[in-house]
A and B are shown apart, each in its own frame.
Chain A
Amino acid sequence: MTTRRTYENAVEVRGLVKHYGATKALDGVDLDVRQGTVLGVLGPNGAGKTTLVRVLSTLIQPDAGTARVAGYDVLRQPRELRRVIGLTGQYASVDEALSGWENLYMIGRLLDLSRKEARARAGDLLERFSLTEAAKRPAKGYSGGMRRRLDLAASMIGHPAVLYLDEPTTGLDPRTRNEVWKEVQRMVAEGATVLLTTQYMEEAEQLAHELTVFDRGRVIAAGRVDELKAKVGGRTLQIRPVDPGTLPAMAAVLAGSTPDHAAGVLNVPITSDEQLTEAVGLLGARGFAIAGIGTHLPSLDEVFLAITGQKASPEDVRDPDAQDDVRDEDKELVA
């Protein structure tokens, strides 16, 4: 726990399978989380994200496949593995009857800290997560955000090498969500390896270095966030003229472009950097005055839609043929 080991991959999952009756919660999952990075596992409800976290934290055993965390096998070395992980569940897993301080102190003692160390660590973490004032109050009186922060603090007491965040902001209001994000970003800056599951594209975009997209227990796409976006669709070049009145004239020059009068910009779909240069050069040659340019990647919502052929929503039925099509597309994407 105290000596942090060096691995290329803090988490390594190969061919992981977990079935519940006919439901294939995990249906042959492969993934890696490089040390010191955040892997976002993105998918709708029922995609198998939580099952993955539960396997990786030794709460359930897989039917097939292997998973190693910090070099420890989930099946063969569960005790060692438990020493190096931290888990923040979808639902705050603190003892509501206990105060914030009592919760953290208890976990410190369970992690074999001395009384003195446990007290100090509890105090530090309460301070860090802005819970010092509420430290003595029972957690059941905490707001949703405070509870989630306490849960995060609890996960960090043992300085875990690998942290699982299972939908850490589900059900939180935007302000509280931002607080949680800030804390996660800080943990990552301090060197934690994080496996983050989320249903929110925005969250994955904010926090993750790499992304794995789950659908029905399978990985349907994987890569860097921007890579994935670029693969799915081209970028949009946004050109802001000095005079918004020239927008229609500019649109006439560039084929396929659409003026957005409300924003005062011209949107130009592009697929390469050459096209960007070309478009800007063309406008310059015609004497248009440009105040600013920018490129905008498609949102992860659009990414998911493009990959799965459906919106990222749970429990909708697709016909088997359509699903085969999706699988074919995936191969290209993942390849």
Chain B
Amino acid sequence: MATSFRAELRRGAVVTGKWKQGIYRVERLLGEGANGKVYLVQRDRSWYAMKIGFDAIDLQSEINVLQTLAKQRKQGQEAYLYDVDDMYAPDGKKYPFYIMRYVRGLRLAEYLKQQGPEWFPLVGLNLLNKLSKLHEAGWVFGDLKVENVLVADYGHVELVDYGGVTANGKSIRQFTEIYDRGYWNCGPRSADPGYDIFSFAVLCIQLHEPKRLHQLTAELLPQNRSSADLMEIVGASPALRPLSGWLRRALDGQFRDGSDAALSWRLLLHRKDTHRPSSMPRWLKGLAAGSAVLLATSVYWLLRNVL
């Protein structure tokens, strides 16, 4: 596009905010989004993530969303946005940046590869809960995809890249084709909770059958793309088949919102757990183990906060 970003920040580079004089030392590049780069930085011996925007208006628009979210944040929740400022890069140009909480974690696909696929149902549930919190506050995440989900220890989920977050009823600000409801002729490209849940369903397919999904997008004529094609992949996949009822509802927009979808996801796992113990897939056992760990962690936190 018109703006090209050459300002590479090296390890050890010091960034000083133009307006508030915050000083940050750059550690390494964490990732690159649609509208900026994210670096790991240090200030006063604490780690943060710094997003540098390619375009001031574009980044500010994202910051506005984050600031509104911060105002809606309930007590006890950890702060997400710490600082907003401008910097001068080594090339002499001015770039806007903001400082956010650094989330230690792995990208979703990597996490499941390392920790095992039995973590998938729990991670999925945590992700749905995360989305439903956004939905309750009147927002839609928008650009939900495998790359934008970080998983920390014990399946704790964080969403990254808030560039797509859109207020209910407006047009989705940023999306990725294969996760997009409109791309599959399954509904409008405007923000409602069902938009995220659709993307979540595609994310499940992308995690388990990435090759088939890619093949499908290459084969189908645009006007013929439909949720039935996605369901065909689900039906042919042993890992996805147990979820097929849930996925069909997600793709057809039958869930009211994130919490409805999360509830149904939980019930589904639970029901299979009790009724068909013999055919219980490995990952369902993982869910039980995961829940136990989660419970233990919650109890630990509870005690720690009380004492």
Bound pair: A and B?
A: no
* Partner-A contacts on B (CB < 8 A): none
* Partner-B contacts on A (CB < 8 A): none
